[in-house]
Structure 1
Amino acid sequence: MPADAPTHPRARAGARLALAAVYAGIGVVHVTRPDAFLPIMPDWVPAPRDVVLATGVCELAGSVALLTPRLRRAAGWAFAAYAVCVYPANVKHAIENVNVPPIPSSWWYHGPRLAFQPVFVWWALWAAGVVDWPFGGRVTRTARAPGRR
């Protein structure tokens, strides 16, 4: 295996499949039941119902892209950005104790959910082959010339 090849290809493939399944499932719910997400949308989000629908479509498209080798890295970056962008809704959900069945309305759910958001960002980047950390450094697209940093 070349020095710049991603490590743990089977684990990465499993993480990719799991992430695609999670986002596809969430995407279906966003598209079929957008009104369920409106209570957690921050007030400053314009056209919240349209945003929920658009995010559902993006989650579905991203799931397909994550499983498509030539689109995989772009999907990883997109899902990482998405995880950052939905954080305000997760904070509102927790702070205002918004009831959204069947999601539990307790800090036993919200605390870990908020704390693990950076893990979701990393998961998207690692599963897509954008980063190899902490398992072997940075993933590069091409080998570097000898003597170059």
Structure 2
Amino acid sequence: MILLYMMSAFYILAGLNHFRAPGFYMPMMPPYIPGPKRMIYLSGLAEIVFGALLLWPPARSFAAWSLIFMLIIFFSVHIYMYQERNTVFRKIPNLIIIARLPLQFVLIFLAYLYT
């Protein structure tokens, strides 16, 4: 249960951060995503909602599958960051950018535990 509470808190706090500091996420948005600021807010809202739903047993599986779907979609953002690591993201250490790619699979696996 500790892992479940940690996951829920992680997604809720990450989602809240989308509203607290949307400018932080703007450079991460690939140019092919329409309405990037709107997408930042929508993804933040989704993280809050699905993170909270993880704690409600009847909705836990739905929330976990929804988070998996989101993480797969977010993978394109991480690939974009990797592709632009020497230009847009040159101030971020390559190790951090590269580490985010396999981290997505870990997060997907953790969410899958609750499907």
* SS state at 1:86 partner: helix
Q: Which amino acid is the alignment partner of residue 74 of structure 1?
A: F
Structure with the bigger RCO (C-alpha within 8 Å, sep 6+) is 1
**Structure 2 partner of 1:86:** 74
Offset, 1:58:
0.7
2:84 corresponds to which of 96, 100, 108 = 96
Percent identity over the alignment is 22
Q: Write the distance in 1 (CA, Å) between the matches of 2:28 and 2:18.
A: 13
Q: Rg bigger for which structure?
A: 1
Larger helix proportion of the pair: 2
Matches within 5 A, 1:112-123: 112-123=99-110
Aligned-CA RMSD value: 1.6
Offset, 1:17:
1.0
Question: Quick check: 1:28 aligned with 2:28?
Answer: no
1:45 corresponds to which of 16, 33, 52 = 33
Offset, 1:81:
0.7
Offset, 1:31:
1.4
In the TM superposition, structure 1's runs of 4+ consecutive aligned residues that sit over 6 Å from their partners are none
Q: Which amino acid is the alignment partner of residue 45 of structure 1?
A: I
Matches within 5 A, 1:1-149: 13-97=1-85, 98-99=88-89, 105-126=92-113, 128=114, 130=115
* TM superposition score normalised by structure 1: 0.70
Q: Write the distance in 2 (CA, Å) between the matches of 1:125 and 1:15.
A: 12
* TM superposition score normalised by structure 2: 0.89
Q: Write the distance in 1 (CA, Å) between the matches of 2:15 and 2:68.
A: 15
List runs of 5+ in structure 1 lacking aligned partners: 1-12, 131-149
